[in-house]
Amino acid sequence: MTELNSIWLVIVLGTVVLLSLAVGIIAIIIFQQRKMFAMQQKNLEQLAESEKRYRRLVKLSPLPMVVAIAERIVYVNDAGIKLFSASGEDEVYQRSLYEYLTTDFEHPEQNRFPAMLEREEELYNVKGQLEKLDGQIIDIELTAINISFDEQEAKHIVLRDITQEERHKAELIAAKERAEQSDKLKDAFIANISHEIRTPLHIIIGYSNLITNELVGNLYPEMESYFQAIRRGSQRLMRTVEHILNISSIQVGTFSVRPEEIRVSDRVAELVHEMTSLAKKKGLELTFTSECPAAILYADRYCIDQAVSNVIDNAIKFTKKGEVSTRVYCVDRRVCIEIRDTGIGISPEYLPKVFSVFSQEASGYTRPFDGLGLGLSLTKKYVELNRGSITVKSRKGKGTTFTLQFLADKVEEPAYQEEVLTPAYVPLEPLEKEEESGFTGLQNVLFVEDDEETQEYMASLLSREYNLRIAATAGAAWEILEDTRIDLVLMDLSLQGDEDGISLTRRIRKDDRFSKLPIIAVTAHAFPKDRIQSLEAGCNAYFSKPFQIEELKRSMESFLTGDTRSS
């Protein structure tokens, strides 16, 4: 009995324990479920709040936004309603989006928006046009991403009005095109002005020199001074025009350089020699010394000539008595050109402005010196275009020293010295003479020039020494080349008709019969780019009007005799 009672007691106690465990487990499960439910409720509340904030942000966004399901608009924000020119959401709700999206910029001939929006991929920054409810068509930029809306697949579309941007862009493009056209017109105007001034000046200076030479020994002193005044006035006008044209060309970026080897001491000595008469007229001593005669500079000859000549010319102009000295020396690998004068000097206040465009220390009606104030500004640009620098030291009333520095290409003594013959030159093999021609008379020179006065002037200078043939057009020149043995061609760049001198020169060079025929460009087109084009087309030398007839004749003789050495 006792044992039976014990067994029942154990059973009862076990049952109580099991029931207690079951109740505890159930309680824990209920607690966890209530906790999870509370968390879910909280998450749902947070999600609802987040969705509410998102909807509010979308609604108040300044960017027009649309949600479309299968092309039908199911939501549009306030900015979108405004974009469509609608009074409310109802005016666009459930309407097809394609009623408004008319075309895209990339393919204006067709409306690709339906095909693009029906694909699953997202669209970014696709440009097109949208027609508003009031009929106005605007430019838009569209971005579309895939979203779920009311448990359906939808497109969230952002539309940005870019009408003003496209208009401004079009205006900028039009303004750019106008500016480019203006630059072309300005370049053409500058080139034409240069040509139209140089051509008559060439004739004025040329005939003045011709008359002077013809009347040597028979001129009264007053008449001699008249001709000198004509030459000085013409040269001053030419220098002024050249400065204006060059500064314009440099500022618009059309000025180009053609580097070549220059024997600095020889070239500077020649430039100093050209200024001797100007210095003597003022009673000044003009000197030149060189401490490195073998120095060779790789630079544009025109720029170096203009830079050195401008500084020497200024030194003479601003020096009333004393001297102007030019010295070439080398420091390490740099070649220096020093021009020192004993002139009026420059004040400390003006010294920082000395290289400014159109700048002069004295101005107004009482200014003591002429000029535009371009010389030194151009000089600085010429030097810098050739990897050089220019410095100035001056004291008022004591004089001024300008120093031009360049990186020397060579400083050793060259193996031989060459004679400088022409301002611009390309070596040429001597033209083979036909033995059977029996040519013993004057050599045949073809002068291709369309200006009648220039034709007459050059004929008066060259007809005594050469058998001169004249052609005003490329066609006439080619006929002469075909029918007559020509020994040398003087080529102008501007010609009547459809073919200019550059094109004619290229055509001559392509013909094997004339491959060795010397061609000298003689033109009023005097920009560096004109010189470069002439030489690249096949001209062997280049002279810009007005030029010294003696220099042209020396160049012609060098080609006709086969003596074609040059520096």
Q: How far apart are CA 203 and CA 211, in angstroms?
A: 12
Mean pLDDT for back-to-back runs of 10 residues, the chain (567 residues): 71 78 80 78 71 69 87 88 88 85 63 70 83 88 86 88 90 86 71 73 76 72 74 73 73 76 92 89 92 89 90 90 93 91 89 75 42 74 91 91 88 46 41 39 87 86 89 92 92 87 93 91 81 90 83 89 54
| Crossing angle of the two packed helices 163-214 and 221-251, in degrees rounded to 10 | 160
- Is 241 contained in some domain? yes
Does residue 25 sit within a domain?
no
Instruction: Note whether 325 and 289 are within 8 A (CB).
Output: yes
Identify which of 248, 246, 252, 210 has the alpha carbon closest to the alpha carbon of residue 227. 210
Q: What is the pLDDT of residue 376?
A: 85
In a shared domain, residues 227 and 90: no
Both 207 and 126 in one domain: the answer is: no
Q: Which long-range contacts (CB under 8 A, 24 or more apart) does 498-504 make?
A: 498/474, 499/473, 499/474, 499/475, 500/474, 501/448, 501/474, 501/534, 502/533, 502/534, 502/537, 503/474, 503/537, 504/448, 504/474, 504/477, 504/478
Distance, in Å, from the CA atom of 24 to the CA atom of 232, rounded to the nearest integer, reads 123
- CATH number of the domain where residue 210 is located: 1.10.287
* Cβ contact 149:54 at 8 Å: no
Verify that 527 and 439 share a domain, yes or no. yes
**For the chain, how many residues are written?**
567
Residue 415 domain flag? no
Q: Answer for the pair 450, 473: CB distance below 8 angstroms, yes or no.
A: yes
In eight-state DSSP terms, residue 473 is B
d(C-alpha 159, C-alpha 140), whole Å = 6
Residue 41 and residue 77 in one domain: no
Q: What is the pLDDT of residue 230?
A: 77
For the chain, report the end-to-end CA distance as a whole number of angstroms: 143
Is 234 found in the same domain as 280? no
- What one-letter code names the amino acid at 501? G
- Among 121, 77, 127, CA closest to 103: 127
Among 251, 268, 296, the domain boundary falls at 251
d(CA 440, CA 552): 23
Same domain, 367 and 391: yes
Q: Decide if 551 is inside a domain.
A: yes
Tell me how far apart the alpha carbons of residues 442 and 285 are, in angstroms, rounded to a whole number.
Answer: 44
- Give the number of domains in the chain: 5
The reported pLDDT for the residue numbered 538 is 92
Same-domain check for residues 333 and 442: no
CATH number, domain at 364?
A: 3.30.565.10
Q: How far is CA 409 from the centre of its chain?
A: 27
**Predicted local confidence at residue 25, as pLDDT:** 83
DSSP string for residues in 221-277: HHHHHHHHHHHHHHHHHHHHHHHHHHHHHHHTT-----EEEEEHHHHHHHHHHHTHH
* DSSP β-bridge partners for residue 489: 446, 519
Q: Which of 132, 161, 190 is the last residue of a domain?
A: 161
Question: For residues 442 and 453, is the Cβ–Cβ distance under 8 A?
Answer: no
Q: What domain range is 45 assigned to?
A: 30-56
Which amino acid type is present at position 391? T
What CATH number should be reported for the domain holding residue 116? 3.30.450.20
Residue 35 sits in the same domain as residue 74? no
Q: How, if at all, do strands 467-471 and 488-491 pair?
A: unpaired
Residue 311 in domain: yes
Beta bridge partners of 467: 444
Is residue 281 situated within a structural domain? yes
Residue 291 sits in the same domain as residue 390: yes
Q: How far is CA 204 from CA 61, 227, 546, in A?
A: 77, 11, 9
Phi, psi of 409 (to 5 degrees): -80, -40
User: What local confidence, expressed as pLDDT, does residue 149 receive?
Assistant: 83
H or E segment and range at residue 330: strand 323-331
Residue type, 510: K
Same-domain status, 311 and 385: yes
Same domain? 331 vs 463: no
pLDDT for the residue 419: 41
Other C-beta atoms closer than 10 Å to the C-beta of 325 total: 18
Q: Is residue 416 in a domain?
A: no
Whether 13 is covered by a domain: the verdict is no
Do residues 328 and 342 touch, judged by C-beta distance below 8 A?
A: no
Cross-strand partners of 103: 129
Query: Cα separations (Å) of 542 from 490, 508, 509?
Result: 10, 17, 16
User: Long-range contacts of range 99-103, CB-CB < 8 Å, 24 or more positions apart?
Assistant: 99/131, 100/130, 100/131, 100/132, 101/128, 101/129, 101/130, 101/142, 102/128, 102/129, 102/130, 102/131, 102/137, 103/128, 103/129
Same domain, 304 and 379: yes
pLDDT of residue 365: 32
Q: Return all residues near 282 (Cβ < 8 A) that are at least 6 apart.
A: 316, 319, 320
Q: Which helix (H) or strand (E) holds 60?
A: helix 2-60
Q: The domain spanning residue 459 has which CATH number?
A: 3.40.50.2300
Q: Are 295 and 261 in contact (CB under 8 A)?
A: no
